[in-house]
Amino acid sequence: MKEKSFDVVVIGGGVTGCAIARELSRYNLNTCVVEREEDVCSGTSKANSAIVHAGHDAAPGSLKAKFNVEGNRMMGDLAEELDFEFKRNGSLVLCFAEEDRPALEELYQKGVKNGVPELKIITGDEVRAMEPNVSDKVVAALYAPTGGIVCPFGLTIALAENACDNGVEFIFNTEIKNIKKTQCGYELEADEMLLKAPYVVNAAGVYADVIHNMVSEKKLHITPRKGDYCLLDKEAGNHVSHTIFQLPGKLGKGILVTPTIHGNLLTGPTAKDIEDKEATATTARELAEITEKASISVKDIPFRLVITSFCGLRAHEDGDDFVIGEAEDAPGFFDAAGIESPGLTSAPAIGVYVADLVAEKAGAGKKENWNGKRKGFIRPEKMTREERAALIKEHPEYGTIICRCEGVSEGEIVDAINRTLGAVSLDGIKRRVRQGMGRCQAGFCTPRTMEILARERNMKMEDICKNAPGSNMLTGQK
Amino acid sequence: MSNHDIVIIGGGPAGLAAAVAARKAGIQDILILERDSCLGGILNQCIHNGFGLHTFKEELTGPEYAARYIKMAEEEKIPYKLNTMVIDINRDKEITAINREDGLIVIKAKAIILAMGCRERPRGALNIPGYRPAGIYSAGTAQRLMNIEGYSVGKEVVILGSGDIGLIMARRMTLEGAKVKVVAELMPYSGGLKRNIVQCLDDYGIPLKLSHTVVNIEGKERVTGITLAEVGPDRKPIPGTEEHYSCDTLLLSVGLIPENELTKSIGVSMSRVTSGPEVNDQLETSAEGVFACGNVLHVHDLVDYVSEEAALAGTNAAAYVKAGEKKEGHVVALKAENGVRYTVPQTLDINNMQEKVTVRFRVADVYKDRYISVYYDGVQVSKRKKKVLAPGEMEQVVLKKDSFAGCPELKNIVICTEVE
């Protein structure tokens, strides 16, 4: 059994854990992130709406409201600092009937109370002028210009890389099975590892209740709330330009239709409470529900252009709010639990808040040589022809296209593998540089990407996994 | 920027046959751009036989068939660039491509021949519910990993879709020691060639379940099983017919899609039925001097027909480069009706056409004892009886120039199926 000691152990390498780790890296604290999967961004953070919410949905005074608005405000600067893709495309909450206007007005007032800037209610015709494909039935909408879209992988991976560059250690394929309170803090037990630390941060997503309940008598209970999504081809990416929500009403919690930051069209999520924290399977019924409900908001969505569907689990805590802060009966144990929507938006703000709490408790000072800048991936597709030609001249590997659909070159794939916290699986490469994320869904590029991964990591082809250990692509050698 | 008479996008069977024909028609300045590391395209991984019966009157494997055309292209000293990806083509016939050696290059062509082939429909396009583990492959990807790279992709296999690649892979995986448990097909008939059903399934005792589809995929890391269900006439699963199969691999052979992203960047008219560009009898798209052939135009059943069609595109592109202008045309629309799904070409210029034009098409369903009829402005001019017509097999009619001699006012030609 390997034994390691840290000042702080963050459990969970999702967006929340990585945001907290990155903020902790400002301090003179020996920090590690322990993650059950082979990579960061492998749970709820990888399967969500990829929306930066404006902040009008949460109840005024709630932690969700506070961190949402703050996280939204921070996202622009963070995207520049950490070089990930983010755009304020604005969001619209559609109101389909005159009798629902009071509810729309209430949503507006909530937004104002939460401190959401620039909110306004616009008429149905104004909506249709902005979004010609929106339903003719729309009578009004709440327009939030600060709403945005982000690459959830890009955000999480950027936070993790920057944390790592500033000294945070990441331990993968390690699931915490038990936590013991000791005199000088906590002992975290995994199958082949014992981690010791005076301070622990619980950012374990749908398992945050299980982790919390290992040390606290004030029990949490998280219900995985399952949501299915359909992702459409880039050909459909301009069908709407804003994020289109439905006013929660008779139809239940609505289905959104939004462009993604990469130019696809995304529809979903459904919402179904389940017990199994691993049940990320889509179902025919929910996929059908997406088609049906999305069509209420937006006309003529070309569902024949669906390229993939997926499912994510939101970590819904019984108290219906984020649970953030030091556990009452477990000093030094900090929760960031119940982080469901708007968790992705809130992550940067939660990161600052929790890291400051931990640092204060530990009496840690700030590092002098901390570097908050991270350089993202070279994106030849975004370059001018001259820049691209110069790049290939200097680095010929950027001249070999591996993924035809997304135009991803060998250079980008090699970068994804060899940089800080580089990819060790096919999904890891996909989430970093979009190889295989296009319309053929990795049909053409899988064999070649496997070869590159095997070469760069000096692995055998048959050891290459789609994601976690056990997800081997091949069943035998030559 | 460099200039060429004819630039061919794609060095598979279509691109090679087009290049050889264009050279034989007298064009010296030809360039083939190929994204893969060798010529021959998908044929290189099709190591089974059955290719070339029409073209060479003998049965070849895919690599052998490709080798013959590669040899012809080399004998003609036709230049090509490998590992070269075309990223854009515009209306002025300027092609932007990249590769390691040249970096980013722009090539201006007098004529372009599109020969990019097709790709496989992925799982996502069918929206099959369930988990997303490793072990779900499109049949062609699995074929490449087995036949080119030499790896085993699975031990216990279910195949969805009875397209030809799926059928071929059922046999191939069986020969490599895998257990292929079942081939399921959504439609009440197979989309593959009859001979492949006999030689790849029947001969190995692999069951083919028509009107069945996969309704669930299980397995968190690697596939552990799938659920099949029967579908009704509406192609929706019938509750209560679910059947579980344990397997570690699901192969998908659920259709091919002509790969026309570049074609769309030129802005030519596309056919919603074929997913390829619309072409005239010269196999020229709505952009003058841009020709298309092979699977990028419409998905073929036999490579022999690809070669034949591509040679025509090559010859026509050569004529276009040499002549420049055509005489006043008389363009007639070709219409597919009553069981005929589409025609290629979609229009015919009866003034400028060659002596004979082969019109290729597919039918919409399995038909028995039907006629394939041709009408000129409502007047039947030919009919031919077929014992069996199936969507998996491409059909053709030949239209002769002299048959239009008495039709100065002709507006449309209809190709249809008819019972008695």
B182-214 per-position pLDDT tens digit: 999 999 999 888 889 999 999 999 999 999 999
Q: Could you tell me if A29 and A72 lie in one domain?
A: yes
Residue at token pair 């919603």: B272
Among A283, A441, A462, the residue with its CB nearest the CB of B151 is: A462
**Is the CB of A399 less than 8 angstroms away from the CB of B145?**
no
Strands A86-87 and A222-232: unpaired
Predicted pLDDT at A252: 55
Residue A12 placed within a domain:
yes
**Is the CB of A280 less than 8 angstroms away from the CB of B150?**
no
Q: Could you tell me if A274 and A423 lie in one domain?
A: no
**Is the CB of A400 less than 8 angstroms away from the CB of B83?**
yes
The values of phi and psi at residue A293, to 5°, are -75, -35
Q: Which residues of B touch A236 (CB under 8 A)?
A: none
> What residue ranges do the domains of chain B occupy?
1-119+255-325, 122-254, 327-420
Q: Could you tell me if A208 and A189 lie in one domain?
A: yes
State ipTM.
0.94
Residue A258 placed within a domain:
yes
Residue A423 placed within a domain:
yes
* Architecture per CATH, B327-420: Sandwich (2.60)
Q: Could you tell me if A327 and A456 lie in one domain?
A: no
Is residue B340 predicted with pLDDT exceeding 80? Answer: yes
For residue A445, the enclosing domain spans 380-463
**Is the CB of A470 less than 8 angstroms away from the CB of B85?**
no
The three-state secondary structure class of B94 is: strand
Q: Could you tell me if A4 and A59 lie in one domain?
A: yes
Question: Choosing among A440, A445, A453, A464, which should be mutated to test the B contact, i.e. which has the most B CBs within 10 A?
Answer: A440
The values of phi and psi at residue B334, to 5°, are -100, 125
Residue A472 placed within a domain:
no
Q: Could you tell me if A229 and A193 lie in one domain?
A: no
CATH number at B1-119+255-325: 3.50.50.60
Q: Which of B119, B73, B55, B10 is nearest to B305 (CA)?
A: B55
**Is the CB of B125 less than 8 angstroms away from the CB of A278?**
no
Predicted pLDDT at B192: 87
- Whether residue A470 contacts residue A36, with contact meaning beta carbons closer than 8 Å, is answered with no
Residue A451 placed within a domain:
yes
Q: Could you tell me if A168 and A76 lie in one domain?
A: yes
Just list the catalytic residues of A: 53
CA distances A164 to A25, A354, A377, Å, are 8, 18, 16
Q: Could you tell me if A175 and A64 lie in one domain?
A: yes
Predicted pLDDT at B137: 97
Q: Could you tell me if A124 and A273 lie in one domain?
A: yes
Last residue of a domain, one of A359, A376, A393: A376
Domain harbouring A159, CATH code: 3.50.50.60
Among A287, A446, A451, the residue with its CB nearest the CB of B127 is: A287
Predicted pLDDT at A441: 92
H or E element in which residue B209 lies = strand B208-210
Predicted pLDDT at A250: 55
What is the domain count for chain A?
A: 3
Residue A105 placed within a domain:
yes
Reading chain A (478 residues) residue by residue, the pLDDT tens digits are 899 999 999 999 999 999 999 999 999 999 999 999 999 999 999 999 999 999 999 999 999 999 999 999 999 999 999 999 999 999 999 999 999 999 999 999 999 999 999 999 999 999 999 999 999 999 999 999 999 999 999 999 999 999 999 999 999 999 999 999 999 899 999 999 999 999 999 999 999 999 999 999 999 999 999 999 999 999 999 999 999 999 986 545 689 999 999 999 999 999 999 999 999 999 999 999 999 999 999 999 999 999 999 999 999 999 999 999 999 999 999 999 999 999 999 999 999 999 999 999 999 999 999 999 999 999 998 899 999 999 999 999 999 999 999 999 999 999 999 999 999 999 999 999 999 999 999 999 999 999 999 999 999 999 999 999 999 999 987 5
Q: Does A420 touch chain B (CB under 8 A)?
A: no
3-state DSSP of chain A: CEEEECCEEEECCCHHHHHHHHHHCCECCCEEEECCCCCCCCCHHHCCCCEECCCCCCCCCCHHHHHHHHHHHHHHHHHHHHCCCEECCCEEEEECCHHHHHHHHHHHHHHHHHCCCCCEEEEHHHHHHHCCCECCCCCEEEEECCCEEECHHHHHHHHHHHHHHCCCEEECCCCCCEEEEECCEEEEEECCEEEEECEEEECCHHHHHHHHHCCCCCCCCEEEEEEEEEEECHHHCCCCCCEEEECCECCECCCEEEECCCCCEEEECCCEECCCCCCCCECHHHHHHHHHHHHHHECCCCHHHEEEEEEEEEEEECCCCCEEEECCCCCCEEEEECCCCCHHHHHHHHHHHHHHHHHHHHCCCECCCCCCCCCCCCCHHHCCHHHHHHHHHHCHHHHCEEECCCCEEHHHHHHHHHCCCCCCCHHHHHHHHCCCCCCCCCCCCHHHHHHHHHHHHCCCHHHCECCCCCCECCCECC
Q: Which residues of A touch B140 (CB under 8 A)?
A: 443
For the stretch B80-128, pLDDT in tens is: 999 999 999 999 999 999 999 999 999 999 999 999 999 999 988 888 9
**Is the CB of A474 less than 8 angstroms away from the CB of B122?**
no
Residue A474 placed within a domain:
no
Q: Which of B72, B66, B105, B58 is nearest to B294 (CA)?
A: B66
The values of phi and psi at residue A462, to 5°, are -75, -5
Among B119, B150, B216, the residue with its CB nearest the CB of A443 is: B119
CATH topology match: B1-119+255-325 vs B122-254:
yes
Predicted pLDDT at A1: 85
Predicted pLDDT at A253: 63
Higher pLDDT, B327 or A418: A418
**Is the CB of B221 less than 8 angstroms away from the CB of A388?**
no
Q: Could you tell me if A208 and A234 lie in one domain?
A: no
Burial class of B150 by CB neighbour count within 10 A (0 to 12, 13 to 18, 19+): exposed
- Please name the residue of chain A whose CA is at the shortest distance from the CA of residue B130: A281
Q: Could you tell me if A244 and A136 lie in one domain?
A: yes
Q: Which residues of B touch A390 (CB under 8 A)?
A: 103
Q: Does A46 touch chain B (CB under 8 A)?
A: no
Residue A50 placed within a domain:
yes
Q: Does A237 touch chain B (CB under 8 A)?
A: no
For the stretch B282-311, pLDDT in tens is: 999 999 999 999 999 999 999 999 999 999
- C-alpha span between B272 and A313 (Å, rounded): 37
Among A385, A400, A473, the residue with its CB nearest the CB of B100 is: A400
For the stretch B342-384, pLDDT in tens is: 999 999 999 989 999 999 999 999 999 999 999 999 999 999 9
- Please name the residue of chain A whose CA is at the shortest distance from the CA of residue B84: A400
Q: Does A301 touch chain B (CB under 8 A)?
A: no
Domain harbouring A409, CATH code: 1.10.10.1100
Q: Which CATH number fits domain B122-254: 3.50.50.60, 3.40.50.261, 3.20.20.140, 3.40.50.300?
A: 3.50.50.60
Q: Could you tell me if A422 and A302 lie in one domain?
A: no
Predicted pLDDT at B124: 86
- Fill in the amino acid letter for B221: E
Predicted pLDDT at A249: 65
Predicted pLDDT at A169: 98
Q: Does A283 touch chain B (CB under 8 A)?
A: yes
